[in-house]
Amino acid sequence: MLPFWAPGQTQRTVSKQLEGDMKEREIRGLIEQVRSGEISRRSFVRGMMSVGLTAPMAGMMLAHSGVAHAQPTSGYKPTQAGGGGTLKVLQWQSATMLNPHLAVGLADQHSSSAFYEPLASWDEDGNLVPILAAEVPTLENGGLSEDGLTVTWKVKQGVTWHDGAPFTVDDCLFTAEFLADPEVSASTIKSYQGLTFERLDDFSFRLTFPKPTPFWADPFVGIAGAILPKHLFSEYKGVAAREAPMNMKPIGTGPYIVREFVPGDLVLADANPNYHEPNRPYFDALEIKGGGDAVSAARAVLQTGDYDFTWNLSIGDDILTSLSEGGAGEPVIVASALIEFISLNHTDPRTEVDGEYSSVATEHPAFKDKAVRQALSYLVDRKSIGDFIYGQAGVETGNFLVGPPRYVSENTNWEFNIQKAIDTLEAAGWSAGAGGVREKDGVKLSFLYQTSTNPQRQKTQAVVKQACAEAGIELELKAIAGSIYFSSDPGNPDTFTRFMADMEEYASPMQQPDPGNLMYNYHSSQVPTKANNYLLRNVPRYRNPEYDALWEQSAVELDPVKRAEQLIALNDLLVGDVAVVPVVARQFVAGKNLALVAPTTAWAGFLSLVKDWYIDA
């Protein structure tokens, strides 16, 4: 580590200066030391990470203060594009559409990132790097304003869409207008609503936020930033958006061009011969195969070598270790802020209102009683689930917001206590009825608990069911294929956003190094409904005016310490109301061919850096 620090400075020195309240004066003093060369940029970033900020957030803090943006060094070795054959990716939770803005499942967004690109994204070290932008906006280059209100983007020249049409700033402005339209029902609408734009010329524009914005790298960045071609999507505005053929056969700017797409099964693509980065892509073709499960995916990469890469290996440590002995591939753990949790439906999944179940016009007959929700929380044995089901890929937690560490609450607690669950229910008047199932006023504690087909989730369901039975709660378990459960099809009754059950389990990732958007998912305005094609993410239909007001304060708070306190308070409200039951904080586990160099980040789609993948013989 020593070569990274300036003379007399170590990571411990910087960390010590940052401990405690992390006061603005102290942070500014350290930034000035970076500017003067007294400490290195890397020591500052690592010091900030040691007290709970992500590398991207520390880097953006330096950028806002006028310190030159880091220029990531690329280890990419190929000296020409092509020659690598077919890159074979196994995505067992397969894609059902290839437009990231209309997708609700991660599988769709991951696959889309090989074809549609943003202006900028995050690299594997957490640096913000330009993709379709000519440069990353900073205070130094005039791209950022000191008041947190404006961002000026300059886009690359000479870039073409897959059909040969030129890419210009008009595509960016159109994308923002298109996605901000509520009739489109984009899952990324929050990133673009309320913004105004000024076209400066063919290759630059200015974005203005309605209020000071602490995290500006949201619109046009990462998964939410994928740019759509104006000349094609302009015919599919509003409610017609879902009819656009480019949802299934993208015309993007990415390194690969779709040749064939079979929803829920297969994506075949060829290298883009006119890609805008030199000597890329290395592979001549891309195959993304869906189906199967995490164990078969791990076997195909780690043991038999039939595929080069797979993502989200949600399997036990013992199986992962055994398959790795096959010698064809190796597991890779990608740090993230991923929470595995159980959503409790605050509406009634069995009552139809205007053609919609789980409507906000109803309330759940049992979960409207907080005592029932609290009892369920006592019946989840998080430690056993973490230790024996997830192993190194999962740590038990009582928090929904599990990272970056600066935002992890110390105010919450959890316990596995069957007797306390029984006492809580008894005190609330839920008494044992026929078959030992508790009931009150004609309502039985008999619930449908659903999740995707996944060995770890089925084991978790079994653990929870057994504990619930001892407390007089009856659970019916349902496992749904991932390609269906995470589908973006609004007509599919088994998707997790339709929530045609009482309880359901899934993981919610933070797709950018700031918790604002993750916590916005539980704002009252984000309830998935028939009117918005069930694309929004307040899946439990949680509505709390106090939560809404606090989130709105956090959205404009520029002081990082105050904002952290607000985001922690949001976590505490969500957990305290038992809107959700956190289970384990997960890490992403991928598997790759031993010779494959595959930069991967948890802050964007796992294929967002596929342009930089190659085989190192």
Residue pLDDT, tens place only, 470-526: 999 999 999 999 889 988 888 999 999 999 999 999 998 777 778 888 899 999 999
In a domain, 71, yes or no: no
pLDDT interval class at 20 (50, 70, 90): very low
Annotate 148-189 with three-state secondary structure: CCEEEEEECCCCECCCCCECCHHHHHHHHHHHHCHHHCCCCH
Instruction: Give residue 510's pLDDT.
Output: 77
Contacts of 15 (CB under 8 A, 6+ apart): 47, 50, 51
In a domain, 75, yes or no: no
What would the two tokens of residue 474 be?
Answer: 């009856």
pLDDT interval class at 28 (50, 70, 90): low
pLDDT interval class at 25 (50, 70, 90): low
What would the two tokens of residue 470 be?
Answer: 């001892």
List the single range of 65-79, 163-177, 527-541 with lowest mean pLDDT.
65-79
Cα–Cα distance, 604 to 323 (Å, whole number): 27
Write the pLDDT tens digit of every residue in 135-155.
999 888 999 998 889 999 999
Ramachandran sector of residue 22 (left: φ over 0; alpha: ψ -120 to 50; beta: rest): left
Write the pLDDT tens digit of every residue in 59-96.
666 665 666 555 556 689 999 999 999 999 999 888 99
How many independent structural domains does the chain possess? 4
pLDDT interval class at 321 (50, 70, 90): confident
- What CATH number corresponds to the domain at position 323? 3.40.190.10
Q: Which amino acid is at 245?
A: P
Write the pLDDT tens digit of every residue in 200-241.
999 999 999 999 888 899 999 999 999 999 999 999 999 999
374 or 561: which leads in pLDDT: 374
Return the ∠ at Cα 591 (arms to 586 and 596), rounded to 5°.
Answer: 135
Residues 367, 503: one domain?
yes
Last residue in a domain, options 245, 278, 306: 245
pLDDT interval class at 423 (50, 70, 90): very high
Instruction: Output the average pLDDT for the chain.
Output: 88
pLDDT interval class at 3 (50, 70, 90): very low
Asked if pLDDT for residue 107 goes beyond 90, the answer is no
Residues 486, 375: one domain?
yes
Residues 301, 343: one domain?
no
Instruction: Give residue 12's pLDDT.
Output: 38
- What CATH number corresponds to the domain at position 439? 3.10.105.10
Instruction: Give residue 130's pLDDT.
Output: 96
Residues 283, 357: one domain?
no
22 or 113: which leads in pLDDT: 113
In a domain, 555, yes or no: no
429-433 contacts: CB < 8 A, separation 24 or more?
430/369, 430/371, 430/372, 430/472, 432/472
Cα–Cα distance, 547 to 533 (Å, whole number): 24
Q: Which domain holds residue 422?
A: 336-515+578-586
Residues 406, 459: one domain?
yes
Average pLDDT over residues 357-362: 97
Average pLDDT over residues 98-126: 89
In a domain, 533, yes or no: no
Asked if pLDDT for residue 24 goes beyond 60, the answer is no
DSSP 347-389: S-TT--BTTBSS-TTS--TTTTSHHHHHHHHHT--HHHIIIII
Residues 387, 405: one domain?
yes
In a domain, 208, yes or no: yes
In a domain, 78, yes or no: no
Handedness of CA 463, 469, 474, 476 (dihedral sign): positive
Burial zone of 269 (CB within 10 Å; 0-12 exposed, 13-18 middle, 19+ buried): buried
Cα–Cα distance, 425 to 417 (Å, whole number): 13
Cα–Cα distance, 226 to 241 (Å, whole number): 15
Residues 506, 486: one domain?
yes
In a domain, 77, yes or no: no
Residues 235, 285: one domain?
no
Residues 496, 389: one domain?
yes
Residues 418, 290: one domain?
no
Average pLDDT over residues 426-455: 95
Residues 89, 170: one domain?
no
Last residue in a domain, options 196, 222, 245: 245
Tell me which residue has tokens 């106090």. 546
In a domain, 123, yes or no: yes
Residues 354, 400: one domain?
yes
pLDDT interval class at 18 (50, 70, 90): very low
Average pLDDT over residues 309-321: 85
Instruction: Give residue 47's pLDDT.
Output: 62
pLDDT interval class at 58 (50, 70, 90): low
515 or 308: which leads in pLDDT: 308
- What CATH number corresponds to the domain at position 201? 3.90.76.10
